Amino acid sequence: VLKCEFAVRGAIVTHAMRLQEQLKQNPGSLPFDEIVVCNMGNPQSLGQQPITFFREVLALCGLPSFLDRSEAQKLFSADSIERARQILDQIPGRTTGGYSHTQGIKGLRETIAYGIEERDGFPSNANDIYLTDGASPGVHIMMQLLLRSELDGILCPIPHYPLYSASIALHGGTLVPYCLDEATGWGLEISEIKSQLEAARSKGVTVRALVVINPGNPTGQVLSEENQQQIVELCKKEGIVLLADEVYQENVYVPDKKFQSFKKIARSMGYQEKDIPLVSFQAVSEGYYGECEKRGGYMEVTGFSADIAEQIYKVASINSCNSNITGQILTSLVMSPPKVGDESYEVYSAEKKGILSSLARRALTLEDAFNSLEGVTCNKVEGAMYLFPRIHLPQKAIKAAESEHIAPDAFYAFRLLKETGIAVIPGTGFGQVPGTWHIRCTILLQETKIPAIVKRISDFHKKFMDEFRG
C-alpha cells in the first residue's frame, strides 16, 4: 500500500500545511502571510458560494416536520419545499436516517436516469446506476472486477489524475500508459493508444479497459465528437471496457466545445447497450457547485452481460458502498436542477452562470499569465478546473534537483511554495512524457486576488530563472 503515493495529498501538501501552522504560531516568520491553495479542486474553501436551491432542499430533507410550517414557507423557496417532499416520498420510511439499497435509493436513481436522458437524448435505466461516495468507490469496484492479476492491464492517459494509478496498483494490475499530445492541446491520438495496446499485448498483458478523462484532469481539454467516436470504435473493435471519467461534465469554458457523454456518442453511432461495455463516473465534488465534502456521485454501468452485472452488484454489496444520504440526494439534484418556471430557477441559473463565467475568466487570465513567463507554455483550459503549464527548466535547475534527490518539477514547486506560499502539484504526480516538466494549478482563486498572485508567481519565476539560467 505504501507504494502508492497520492500526489494530490503528497509532500507538497504536507509541507504547505506545516508552513500554515508556522504562520499561525509565528506570524511574520515567513516571506508571505498566507498559504495560497492552488493544489486542490476545492472551490468553496476559496470563497465560492454554494447553489442555494441545492442547500435548501438538503436542509429540508433532514427536517420533514418543518415542511408544513408557515415559517418554513417564508424561509425556503416553494420549489425546494416541493422537491424535498418528493424526495422524502421516494425514501422508504420518509427518513434520511436509514440505510438504503446497495445501489442507493431507487427513486433518486430514477431522477438521475431521467437527468441523463435529458442530457443525452437516449434512455437511461435506474438499475444501471450505483450511487457512490464521490467517484472513487466506483473506480475501485471496477478495478477490483477487471484486474485478476498483474497480467491484466488498464490503458490510462499520461498525464492523469492519480486515482487511476493508485487503484490499479492497489488491485494488483498493470497500468498501460498512453501519452496525450501536449502539442495538439493534449490530443488523444488513437494511433498512440493502439501502439501501446499492442506493446502491452506483446508482453502478455490482457488489456481490459481504457480510461478516458473528459474534460481532462489535469490537462483541461474537452474531446471533440470525432475523437470520441474513434475511441468508441476502438473499444468496440478491441473488445475492451470504456471507463469514462465524466466528473467535469458541467465545467466547459470555451464556446466552440461542449461536453458530450460517451454513452450519447456510442448510441448516436448506432451502438446499443449490448454492443459496448461502458461505465460513466460522475461526482458532486466537481461541477460548478463544487460540493466536495458532501461525497456524492454515481456510476452508470451499461453493456455488461448479466453475470458480470451480478458480480458488480456483489462487489458493491460487500464494500457496503452505498453512499451517504446527503450525497445521494445532492447527486439527484445536480442531475435534475430547477427548470424554467420553477420559483428557484432564476436565482439558480444566475448563480450557476456567475460561477461558470467567473471560472472561464480566471482560466483565461491565468493561462495568459503562465504563457507570458520565460520558458513556460500553457495549453488552453477548455474545461475542468486546472492549468497544467509546461516549465522548460534550465539544466542547472535540473542538476540542483538531482542533488536534492527530487524531481525537477517538484524542486520548482517546493521553491515556489517556500518563497511565495503558493501551493501547486508537480507534474510528476500525474505522469508526463519523460524529460518534460509541469505543474498543476487550479483556476479557483478568488478573482480579486488573482492579479496579486500572478505578480507573485511572475516575480518568483523571474528570480528562479535568473538563479538557474545557464
Q: Which residues bind its own copies (CB under 8 A)?
A: 1-2, 4-6, 9, 17, 40, 42-48, 50, 52, 55-56, 58-60, 62-63, 65-66, 69, 71-72, 74-75, 92-93, 95-102, 133, 136, 144, 166, 285, 289-295, 311, 314-315, 317-318, 320, 322-328
Q: How far is the CB of 5 from its own copies (least distance, A)?
A: 8
Q: How far is the CB of 325 from its own copies (least distance, A)?
A: 4
Nearest to 439 by CA among 375, 369, 361, 386: 386
For its own copies, the closer CB: 281 or 464: 281
SS (H, E, C) the chain: CCCCCCHHHCHHHHHHHHHHHHHHHCCCCCCCCCCEECCCCCHHHHCCCCCHHHHHHHHHHCCHHHCCCHHHHHHCCHHHHHHHHHHHHHCHHHCCCCCCCCCCCHHHHHHHHHHHHHHHCCCCCHHHEEECCCCHHHHHHHHHHHCCCCCEEEEEEECCCCHHHHHHHHCCCEEEEEECEHHHCCECCHHHHHHHHHHHHHCCCEEEEEEEECCCCCCCCCCCHHHHHHHHHHHHHHCCEEEEECCCCCCECCCCCCCCCHHHHHHHCCCCHHHCCEEEEEECCCCCCCCHHHCCEEEEEECCCHHHHHHHHHHHHHCCCCCCHHHHHHHHHHCCCCCCCCCCHHHHHHHHHHHHHHHHHHHHHHHHHHHCCCCEECCCCCECCEECCEECCCHHHHHHHHHCCCCHHHHHHHHHHHHHCEECEEHHHHCCCCCCCEEEEECCCCHHHHHHHHHHHHHHHHHHHHHHCC
Question: Which amino acid would we find at residue 69?
Answer: R
Return the ∠ at Cα 20 (arms to 19 and 24), rounded to 5°.
Answer: 115
Q: Residues near 430 by Cβ (< 8 Å), separated by ≥ 6? A: 7, 158, 159, 160, 161, 162, 218, 388, 438, 440
Return the ∠ at Cα 102 (arms to 96 and 105), rounded to 5°.
Answer: 40
Nearest to 216 by CA among 11, 440, 434: 440
Q: How far is the CB of 75 from its own copies (least distance, A)?
A: 4
For its own copies, the closer CB: 102 or 377: 102
For its own copies, the closer CB: 71 or 256: 71
